[in-house]
Amino acid sequence: MDNILITGAASGIGAATARLFHSRGWTVGLLDINHHDLADLASELGGVWHAELDVADPDAVQVALADFCALHGGQLRLLFNCAGRMCSGHFGEVALAEQVRVVQVNVLGVLNMSHAAFPYLKATSNAQVINMGSASAVYGVPYLASYSASKFAVRGLTEALELEWGAHGIRVGDLMPPFVATPMLASQHFEAPIKRRLGVRLQARDIAEAVWQQAQGAALHRPVSLRFKLLYWAAQLAPTWINRLIMSRLSRE
């Protein structure tokens, strides 16, 4: 039976993905720092395996991976690095500690989880890592500077591991959606101008479906939504100055 381990599983995209994969017969493991909501979801899904975890804690990550994979013969079919944080606002006015935490969760969390998962993935046929990327990794986004930078790091790690781990039969890719209606986005007190102009057109379940598609046939980068797919591929072909101009206009206050 296929198994999937999901970080950031207590709400939003992680929870939607857990529900979808569970409904389609996969064995699901749930990780999140929010133990209360995580336990509620685990109960909803029939008592699936779950553990409270701060993905920025490498020792705790090692323990969580070992505990989950021990239940499955030391194998891990799919790791979904979904845990994430966001802070929006004028860069110089957002507390440094808040921005550091974004990097800890979005970057170090993915590093910690991927590194700890490697031996289990290597021991599993058709193993895969899916990282939660973002449309903000196409060009740096003003008023989302730390978040955007963290997603560029995720993109770079994804590209590197896709090449390196291919030798071990491990597929690596990321999802690149624009704004998604999640509790994380709703919690932001500052609305970035680009969000106001582009709007929020995706729900968590849309991204869960993209995770499912990625699990069936991996792409290195999977832009989500037809509108952003067109923008993404146009950005790959356009010179940097055009991408800068577009971002400048989308982000003006």
Residues acting as catalytic residues: 147
* CA 187 to chain centroid: 18
55 backbone dihedrals φ, ψ, rounded to 5°: -65, -15
Question: Position 157: which residue type?
Answer: L
Quote the strand ranges of the chain, DSSP E. 3-7, 27-32, 49-52, 78-81, 128-132, 171-176, 180-181, 202-203, 221-223
C-beta of residue 223 within 8 angstroms of C-beta of residue 165: no
- 227, 200 in Cβ contact below 8 A? no
Q: Identify any residues that bridge with 173 across adjacent strands, giving them in sequence order.
A: 130
DSSP states of 87-146:
--S-GGGS-HHHHHHHHIIIIIHHHHHHHHHHHHHHTSTT-EEEEE--GGGSS--TT-HH
What phi and psi, each to the nearest 5 degrees, are found at residue 7?
-90, 160
| Secondary structure class of 212 (helix, strand, coil) | helix
Reduced to 3 states (helix: H, G, I; strand: E, B; else coil), residue 199 is coil
